[in-house]
Every structure is written in C-alpha cells, then in structure tokens.
Amino acid sequence: MSSSEQNVTQTNAALGASAQEFMDYCNAERERRLNSGETFDQEAFDQAIEMVLSKLRVLADEGWS
C-alpha cells in the first residue's frame, strides 16, 4: 500500500465504517476496470469518489455516521 493510500485509509477511518467499505469497493472496482481491457476514465472515477467522500465528511461533521 502506498503512503497516499495509507493517508486516504486513515482519513476514511475517521469518517467511519461506511467510508472504509466504500473505499474498499472503489479500490477493487478500479483494479477490475483497469484490468478489463476496456476504456476506463480513471480521472472521472477518482473525481466521483472524491465527491462521495466529501458528502460523507459533511455528514460525519453533522453527526451522521
């Protein structure tokens, strides 16, 4: 695991189990898509992940887990 992945994991752990489960799914899905041989817009995928994580951070700050 790279240091950036460790930082993301630590940040997501602070958001709760839902964020960690989401990131586990995203990491597996990214690998699947990269290895599928089909066209994959990794930048758009990563932007979508960041949008979801942003919303999870807001919800965590509001007391939702």
Q: What secondary structure letter does DSSP report for 24?
A: H
User: Quick check: 7 pLDDT over 60?
Assistant: no
pLDDT at 4: 47
**How does pLDDT run across 20-58, given as a tens digit for each residue?**
899 999 999 999 999 999 999 999 999 999 999 999 888
> Exposed/middle/buried for 27, CB within 10 Å: 0-12, 13-18, 19+?
middle
pLDDT at 19: 86
